[in-house]
Amino acid sequence: MGMDFSTLRSLISRFCAGEENCVDTRTVYIGHKEPPPGAEAFIQQRFPDNRIVSSKYTFWNFVPKNMFEQFRRVANFYFLIIFLVQLIIDTPTSPITSGLPLFFVIIVTAIKQGYEDWLRHKADNAVNLCPVHVVQHGRVVRTQSRKLRVGDVVHVKQDETFPCDLILLSSSRDDGTCYVTTASLDGESSHKTYHAVQDTKAYKTEKEVACIHATIDCEQPQPDLYKFRGNINIYMGNEPVSRSLASQNLLLRGATLKNTEYIFGVAIYTGMESKMALNYQSKSQKRSAVEKSMNAYLVVYLCILISKAVINTVLKYVWQADPNKDEPWYNEKTETERQRHILIRAFTDFLAFMVLFNYIIPVSMYVTVEMQKFLGSYFIMWDDEMLDEELGERAVVNTSDLNEELGQVEYVFTDKTGTLTENNMEFIECCVDGTVYEPDAICNGQVMPGAADIDMIDTSPGPQARERAELFFRALCLCHTVQVKEEETVDGIKHGIHQGKSSSFYISSSPDEVALVEGMKRLGFTYLRLKDGQMEILNRDDEVERFELLEVLTFDSVRRRMSVIVRSSTGELYLFCKGADSSIFPRVISGKVEQVKARVEHNAVEGLRTLCVAYRPLSPEQYEQVCHLLTRAKLEFQDQDKLVAEAYDLIERDLILLGATAVEDRLQEKAADTIESLHKAGMKVWVLTGDKMETAAATCYASKLFRRSTQILELTTKRTEEQSLHDVLFELKRTVLRHYGTMPRDISSGLSSEYADYGLIIDGATLSAVMRPNQEDSNSGNYKEIFLEICRNCSAVLCCRMAPLQKAQIVKMIKTSKEHPITLAIGDGANDVSMILEAHVGIGIMGKEGRQAVRNSDYAIPKFKHLKKMLLVHGHYYYIRISELVQYFFYKNVCFIFPQFLYQFFCGFSQQPLYDTAYLTLYNISFTSLPILLYSLMEQHINMDILKKDPSLYRDIAKNSLLTWPIFIYWTVLGVYDAIVMFFGAYFLFDNTTFTSNGQMFGNWTFGTLVFTVLVFTVTFKLALDTHYWTWINHFVIWGSLVFFVVFSLLWGGIIWPFLNYQRMYYVFMQMLSSGPAWLSIILLITASLLPDVVKKVFWRALWPTTTERIQNADKLYKGQLSEFTPLEALQPPPKAGGQRRGSANQRNAANPRRSDTPNKKVMLTRWQRTTDYCTFTPFLRLSEGSRRSKLGNAYSRAGPETSV
Q: Which position among 117, 152, 186, 415 bears the catalytic label?
A: 415
Closest by CA to 473, choosing from 608, 613, 603, 589, is 613
Closest by CA to 236, choosing from 35, 26, 31, 42, is 35
Q: Could you give the CA distance from residue 951 to residue 948 in angstroms, rounded to a whole number?
A: 6
How large is the angle between the packed helices 725-740 and 783-792, nearest 10 degrees?
A: 30
Closest by CA to 418, choosing from 863, 871, 867, 866, is 863
On whether the CB atoms of residues 888 and 297 are closer than 8 A, the answer is: no
Q: How far is CA 11 from CA 779, 881, 948, 1118, in A?
A: 29, 46, 47, 64
Three-class DSSP category at 471: helix
> Which run of H or of E encompasses 180?
strand 177-181
Q: How far is CA 102 from CA 97, 105, 362, 1185, in A?
A: 9, 5, 10, 62
Q: Could you give the CA distance from residue 783 to residue 741 in angstroms, rounded to a whole number?
A: 19
What is the bridge-based pairing of β-strands 230-234 and 241-245? antiparallel
The identity of residue 990, as a single letter, is F
State the DSSP string of 676-727.
HHHHHTT-EEEEE-SS-HHHHHHHHHHTTSS-TTPEEEEE-HHHHHHS-HHH
Q: Could you give the CA distance from residue 498 to residue 495 in angstroms, rounded to a whole number?
A: 9
The pairs formed by 988-995 with CB atoms below 8 angstroms and a separation of 24 or more are 989/1077, 989/1081, 989/1084, 990/1077, 990/1081, 993/1077, 995/1075, 995/1077, 995/1078
Q: How far is CA 431 from CA 436, 660, 661, in A?
A: 4, 5, 6
Closest by CA to 198, choosing from 219, 164, 171, is 171
Query: In degrees, to the nearest 5, what angle opens at C-alpha 653 toward C-alphas 648 and 657?
Result: 125
Strand intervals (E) in 438-492? 442-443, 446-447, 483-485, 489-490
The pairs formed by 647-654 with CB atoms below 8 angstroms and a separation of 24 or more are 648/553, 648/559, 648/563, 649/559, 651/553, 651/563, 651/575, 651/626, 652/553, 652/559, 652/561, 652/563, 652/575, 652/577, 652/587, 653/587, 653/616, 654/587, 654/589, 654/616
Q: How many CB atoms lie within 10 A of CB 663?
A: 24
On whether the CB atoms of residues 89 and 351 are closer than 8 A, the answer is: yes
Three-class DSSP category at 940: coil
415 is catalytic: yes
On whether the CB atoms of residues 144 and 124 are closer than 8 A, the answer is: no
On whether the CB atoms of residues 1014 and 1082 are closer than 8 A, the answer is: yes
Strand partners, 526: 538
What is the bridge-based pairing of β-strands 177-181 and 435-437? unpaired
Strand partners, 144: 131
With a CB cutoff of 8 Å and minimum separation 6, the contacts of 535 are 477, 478, 527, 529, 546, 547, 548, 549, 566
Q: Return the DSSP state at 432.
A: E
On whether the CB atoms of residues 142 and 136 are closer than 8 A, the answer is: no
Distance of CA 692 to the CA centre of its chain: 21
Tell me the catalytic residues. Answer: 415
